Structure 1
């Protein structure tokens, strides 16, 4: 099994609990979220395909029927933090990224 290369984005402490930040990764804007009592990390594209703007990192973290979601700050569509799938239109799926916490740092797979 090969080891992945990881890019350090920020410290975990730079992301307030149940919020997101935006980072530039391989030329793309990525929204990174720190969620829940276990402070799980999620990363997905920051671009909202409905509002056509890079705003998802400023969305509202929530829970829809037990599924962790991010709600777009523009038109309020809900996206699964785990899969990127839009709950209102399942044909729309955001790109997700492998993210981890390593020694207090947030890292994305290169």
Structure 2
């Protein structure tokens, strides 16, 4: 872990798993405190970390969603109501007539063989 002060908040980098623990285009869930995080490894080697909580259903299921793309955006479709989210921004690309919602996104870093996320304290 590395701590960096930014204003009144401290950011730390937390190791979540080895990159080799992930399967390409298959989500994995991680837990930090009471926060569930969905982790994704894409075919091009890109890593993404988003909230595992589906904002439309309230269920922690995003890690079980279907990975895809919309134009150049890597996406995850929730297994509950099939809402599609951009993995880079967390924005819902298809709210299906509901109020716009989004997934929280964490910055990800590959440190050697480890996947780390930046966490605010």
Q: Output the TM-score relative to the length of structure 2.
A: 0.82
CA RMSD of aligned residues (A): 1.6
Q: Tell me the SS of whatever aligns to 1:57.
A: helix
Q: Tell me the SS of whatever aligns to 2:106.
A: coil
Structure 2 unaligned residues grouped into runs of 5+: 5-10
Q: Is the 8 A contact 2:55 2:102 kept in 1?
A: no
1:99 pairs with 2:105:
no
Q: Which has the larger radius of gyration?
A: 2
Q: Tell me the SS of whatever aligns to 1:17.
A: coil
Number of equivalent positions? 108
1:18 pairs with 2:25:
yes
Q: Which residue of 2 aligns with 1:34?
A: 41
CA drift at 1:26: 4.2
Q: Which residue of 1 aligns with 2:70?
A: 64
Structure 1 unaligned residues grouped into runs of 5+: none
The one-character-per-residue Cα deviations of 1:62-109 (angstroms, maximum 9, x if unpaired) are: 011221100001111100000000011272111111111101001111
